[in-house]
Amino acid sequence: MSDTDPLAALRTRKLAIVGYGNHGRSHALNLRDSGLTNIRIGLREGSASRAKAEAEGFEVGTVAEVAGWADIVSILAADEAHAEIWRDDIAPNRPAGQALIFCHGYSIQYGLVDPSPDADIILAAAKGPGGAVRTEYQNGGGLIGYWAVHRDASGSARDIALAYLEGIGSGRVGIFETTFEEEAVSDLFGEQAVLVGGLVALAKASFCRLTAAGVSPRMAYIDCVHELKYLADLIHDRGIAGMYDAISDTAEFGARLCEHDIASALGPEFDTLLDNIRSGDFAASWNAEHASGAPRMKTWRAADLKEPVEEAGLELRSRLKGGRRDTPS
């Protein structure tokens, strides 16, 4: 990597970004704002995102077209589409030696994409939601970046990874090395056990337990769901011990009493989650779900709307918007 230009490895290469969703849009805008000009967006035929990408000043083509043009393709389409995008659009059109960048180790780790030996296979992952990649960048920061090289065919894979992460803003906060396997397993486990699955399970189960015991849905929602944000912010800014330091001693004592028991109860479930992720069973199950038109996802999403916890959240947020209060009797 050049000492003077952290983006040197990308400066002379044509970069295609496939997908203009949360990450695709943010990466494209950040890389351009960081000074890269040779960027095109690849979208499927009839994509609803085409108008947005064009309105934001990008040249847009089909995935096949940009794959035939680019020196580097950053695949930022939904993971479940990677296999077909690779098979139908990128592999038949890509020039020899084209490098591939992923934002998640998933497709390579679980064999959805199996590029030919001439391809650099690079991980350049901004750790967090795609929208935050953009907002943090605009605020002068970035998301923590992780890079890995699965295959270095060109001899430049590491430089490309680091330049890419610099360009999307991760260099402003921290860039660390990993492997595709570690990132895939850790990312899936984190979102299943804690950030999404575990959090939602705890929030819903505790809301149901309190309301079954006669607590009003609004009060239960505030205590089990709504306040999560403030605790998450404290942990984000100060760590777990720092969060304990910032809350009441009553809250800390109660939490420390039950923390161990809850963790013990969850231990076997976490073992199963990790085994399923490591073995590829989870990826196989998601592939099968996607291939059959995602019937379970549709059922779950439809059921959400009827959940008492959703109704309580809607009711609370509508009251908060209006600044309404109960009239004292």
83 binds ligand NAP (CB under 6 A): no
Q: How far apart are CA 294 and CA 84, in angstroms?
A: 16
Nearer Cβ to ligand NAP (78/196): 78
Distance in Å, CB of 186 to ligand NAP, minimum = 10
Distance in Å, CB of 14 to ligand NAP, minimum = 19
Instruction: Give Cα 21 distance to the centre of its chain.
Output: 11
Residue nearest to ligand NAP (CB): 21
45: helix, strand or coil: coil
Nearer Cβ to ligand NAP (47/276): 47
Binding mask 10-49 for ligand NAP (x = CB under 6 A): ---------xxxxxx------------------xx--xxx
- Give the amino acid at 289: E
Q: Catalytic pick from 27, 104, 226, 236?
A: 104
Look up residue 193 and give its DSSP letter.
I
Nearer Cβ to ligand NAP (130/313): 130
What are the φ and ψ backbone dihedral angles of 177, each rounded to 5 degrees? -95, 145
Distance in Å, CB of 113 to ligand NAP, minimum = 11
Nearer Cβ to ligand NAP (95/129): 129
CA-based nearest residue to 286, from 107, 126, 48? 107
Look up residue 167 and give its DSSP letter.
H
- Per CB under 6 A, the list member of 40, 94, 104, 151 interacting with ligand NAP is 104
142 binds ligand NAP (CB under 6 A): no
Nearer Cβ to ligand NAP (23/151): 23
Distance in Å, CB of 39 to ligand NAP, minimum = 15
Q: What are the DSSP calls for 221-257, one per residue? A: HIIIIITHHHHHHHHHHHHHHHHHHHS-HHHHHHHHH
Q: How far is CA 173 from CA 10, 13, 142, 186, in A?
A: 20, 25, 6, 20
Does 290 participate in catalysis according to the annotation? Answer: no
Distance in Å, CB of 147 to ligand NAP, minimum = 11
78 binds ligand NAP (CB under 6 A): yes
103 binds ligand NAP (CB under 6 A): yes
Q: Binding to ligand NAP (CB under 6 A): which residues in 181-220?
A: 187
**Candidate ranges 70-78, 234-242, 256-264, 275-283; the one touching ligand NAP (CB under 6 A):** 70-78
The number of CA neighbours under 13 Å toward the Cβ of 195 is 10
Place of tokens 């605790």: 231
Q: Copy the structure tokens of residue 76.
A: 């930022």
Distance in Å, CB of 51 to ligand NAP, minimum = 10
The two counts, helices (H) then strands (E), for the chain are 16, 8
| Count of residues that interact with ligand NAP, criterion CB under 6 A | 27
**Candidate ranges 123-131, 213-221, 237-245, 291-299; the one touching ligand NAP (CB under 6 A):** 123-131
Q: How far apart are CA 238 and CA 125, in angstroms?
A: 24
179 binds ligand NAP (CB under 6 A): no
The number of CA neighbours under 13 Å toward the Cβ of 52 is 15
- What count of other Cβ atoms lies within 10 Å of the Cβ of residue 265? 9
62 binds ligand NAP (CB under 6 A): no
Q: What are the DSSP calls for 110-145, one per residue? A: TTS----TTS-EEEEEE-S-HHHHHHHHHTT----E
297 binds ligand NAP (CB under 6 A): no
Q: Which spans of this chain sit near ligand NAP (rule: CB under 6 A)?
A: 19-24, 43-44, 47-49, 63, 76-79, 81, 84-85, 103-104, 106, 125, 127-128, 130, 187
Residues designated catalytic: 104
